Structure formats: structure tokens, C-alpha cells
Amino acid sequence: MTGELKAKMTIDREFAVATVDPRIYGSFVEHIGRAVYGGIYEPNHPQADDRGFRQDVADLVRELQVPIIRYPGGNFVSGYKWEDGVGPRDRRPARLDLAWRTTEPNEIGTNEFMQWCRQVGAEAMMAVNLGTRGIEDACNLIEYCNHSEGSYWSDLRKSHGYKEPHRIKTWCLGNEMDGEWQVGYKTAEEYGRIAVETAKAMRLVDPGIELVACGSSHSAMPTFPQWEATTLEHTYDAVDYISLHQYYGNPKRDTANFLASALDMDRFIRSVISTCDYMKAKKRSKKTINLSFDEWNVWFHTLESDKAIVPWSVAPPLVEDRYTFEDALVVGSMLITLLKHADRVKIACLAQLVNVIAPIMTDTGGKSWKQTIFYPFLHASVYGRGIVMQPIVLSPKYDSADYTDVPYLEAVAVYRPETKEITVFAVNRHLESALLLDCDLRSLGQVRVVEHLVLAHDDLQAKNTRDEEPVRPRRGPEVQAQDGQLAVSLPKASWNVIRLEAMA
């Protein structure tokens, strides 16, 4: 261990943040690029089922254990007529999608997506169009989806072959309405008014739903956080969540700075929480607004190449970032940040799920494979369910171009009472040195180490492909906990999952 940097982490069962809402491991399927057509749906594929859904893709989604999936957008929803995507396929019109300047064939719509969600074991998080449409269309859609029978729209659903209602619980009131790129862009006042009236009307159709208001499209928006304050001034009593969106990139090839991105994510979350709580105080309310971080990921690799896509084609290869090992480290750090805020972040959606800035990639007619970011998301989803314990971390730090006092160790712990399992998620940001982590586990009693999983690679730019998977987890050196102490070496630039079991 000579020459290694050292960090210390104290885990105490009494330092509970909150129980993780499983929906923090949600994802996103938008009608963009090959996310739907050639992604989840490819009827001529050798592994397609009788509905046209690729079973190799469905298997990978089930492996990730994604509990909720946002649909159908994204920017796409702001010009979407949902009626185009229901009923007999041979009667569905092709439409120009203004958001991505492609042609939407409408082979897949609400009912097919709900079938696919049931197949992969996920709930749907449905977005309504508040760009080009409004209250009436949102009410029609929720009546179509959630009302049992005896009304025009519910009976229309039944005539389309879906006797039972879909019972969608979570609904987004539009998408990124603060962005001038959005079809139907609105000011905060305009959006707040349409959002609250839509929310009230939708709840009259189904009082049991929960609603997400649009927050800022990202933390650098010039209207942030006033947008949140104005929106909540109107909608506070009518909604349950406000959304956050954020993507990070490394166009300048400054890895040390890129690996610190989660610090910005943390500041963004804290600022939105502060704004929500300010409005709670201003309104003298007992209600707490929680957060839906329903778009997050790394996205920068294709920002230039996507400009060359030919307009109005069907399902072009758009936004197909091929992720590197360093991207996986950033995604891991972002997952840790979301877990640290499990008391307020109740929903989060990795954007997106298949082909489009996604952990899963496919070839048309061919293979599917796992990108580098698949693994930290998989580990967090499978092992990160339970009670988040806020660790006390002492770590050496560094400064980068945009951040100061960046800890080399980014870590959190999750305790699952029913199985007595404790999982430590840890990223070593140091690019040259391993990090010796001393864990104080005395409050947990006697524990044993189940396994130490490591995602590491000497080449930060290493990528997985259809034929090779150089970035994949391996078992770390065997370690043991003694007298409530655990010493484990975290390799340089690595994602680590340390699984422990309490013996009493």
C-alpha cells in the first residue's frame, strides 16, 4: 500500500438520509433517432416477438431493473398528437416531427409502449403536450389511459383492443418549456398558468395521479432559478414534483475537470430544493415539493456530427454517443449524488435507454450490447435499494478548471434491512494513484465482505463495441473486515461496489 493516498469513511446506521424510492433508477424512451424504431422495436429482427419488440433489448432492460420509463419525450412531446399513435396501424398518419426534424411513422404509440413497459416490468411516466396543445388534449389522453369505461375516450381505447385501463400514475406537465428551442416555448408566467390549469383538470379525471411540473432545462439557463419560483408560485398546490435536467461533457478533454461534474449536479439539486422550500415558506404550506431529475447523463460526443443528419428521414442514427470509460466514472459519480439526495430526489431518469445517449446499443438486424455506462447504472439499480446512509468522508482534494476542493473519493452507502446488506458505492477520481480507503463500520456490528466489484481501465477513452467489451466489472482483491474496520484499495480512476453483510 506504500505510496497510496488515503481516505477515511465512517458509516453509521443512525445517519439515515432516506429510503431510496426505486424510481430513482428510472430511464427515458423518446421518439428520437433509433430509440424506438430500431431500438426497442424492430419487427423484422430475428429476436422480435409477435408485436415487433426486440427481446434481446428487453432482456437487457430487465437486467437493469428499470422501474419507471418516461415517454414519449422530451422535445418530441411538445408537437405530438397522441391520437396519431393509437388505433389501427394502417390508418395512422406519418407526421413531421419539428423537434428533431425527422418523420414520425406512428407505428408505436401509447398502447404499444404500455405493452412493452409491462413486458420489461416498468411503469410509465407519461408526458403531455403543453407546447402546441393544452388542457383539453391532456384530459383526453388521461381519460383514454386511465378511465375504465363509459366515456368517449375510454371506450375508444377499448375499441382498440385494450379493455383494462393503463392506470398511469405519474405524468409530466410538458417538457423544458423554458427553452427557446422548444416548440411552444413559454415564459414562466405563461407556463405556470397553463400547467396549473392542466393539473387541476387532469386530477378531476383521475384524482390518484401525481404530477411533475417543468423546472429549468439545465442549471445554466439565464432564468434559473427564478423559473422554478415563478412556476411554483402558480403550481405549488397542484403538483408533486418539479423536474431537473442536466447533461455533462468533456469537449476540452480535461478529464480531471470532467470527473468533478457531480459537484455541479449537487449544487443544482441543492438550489432547486432551496427554491422549493422558499415557496413552501412563502405559501405557509405543509406540503413538500420533491424533485424529479428526469433527464441526466453524459452527452457531448455527437453534438457536431448530428448536425449532418438528413432532415425528415425515419429513425436516423441521431445522438448515438459511444461512451468511454471516463464517461462511466462520471455517471457513477452522478448516481452517488442522486443517492445522497434520496430524501428529496424521488424520481430520476437516465436519458436515454436504447441507442440515443444510452447504456444499451443495437445494430439494425444485428446485435445489442452494453455501453460502458451500463455497469454503474446496473450496480446502483440492483444493489442501491434500501436506506441511504450519509457517510462522513475525509478525503484528499484537488482543484480543476471549474471546481475547487474536489474530493478524490466520492462515496455513499445504502443499507437494506431485510437482507442486512450494506453496499458502498465509491469513485476514486485520482488519475494516477490508488486510494486506500479505511471504512469505520463499528456501528454495524460484525460484518463480512460479500464482494468488491471494480470497473477500471488503463485507457480512459476505452469503449465497448458490438464485438468487444473491454470495460466491464471485475472482482477486486479479497478483503476482510476486522473489528469493525475495513481497509480496501480503490484503483486509480475507478468505480467500486463494496458489498457487505451484517452478521447480527
> Which residue is listed with cell 411516466?
125
Q: Which of 30, 42, 295, 326 is catalytic?
A: 295
Whole-angstrom distance, CA of residue 258 vs CA of residue 256:
6
Supply the DSSP string of 385-421, one letter for each residue: -SEEE--EEE--EE--SS-SSEESEEEEEEEETTTTE
- Measured on CA atoms in the order 68, 64, 290, 293, is the torsion positive or negative? negative
Q: Which of 104, 143, 176, 421 is catalytic?
A: 176
176 is catalytic: yes
295 is catalytic: yes
Q: If we measure between CA atoms, which residue out of 338, 353, 429, 448 comes closest to residue 384?
A: 338
Whole-angstrom distance, CA of residue 135 vs CA of residue 126:
15
Cβ-based burial of 22 (10 A; exposed 0-12, middle 13-18, buried ≥19): middle
Q: If we measure between CA atoms, which residue out of 235, 176, 241 comes closest to residue 210?
A: 241
Q: Which residues of 259-294 are buried (b: 16+ CB within 10 A; e: fewer)?
A: bbbbbbbbebbebbbebbeebbeeeeeeeebbbbbb
Residue 131 DSSP class: S
Helix (H, G, I), strand (E, B) or coil at 211: strand
Count of CB atoms within 10 A of residue 392's CB? 11
**Catalytic annotation, residues:** 176, 295
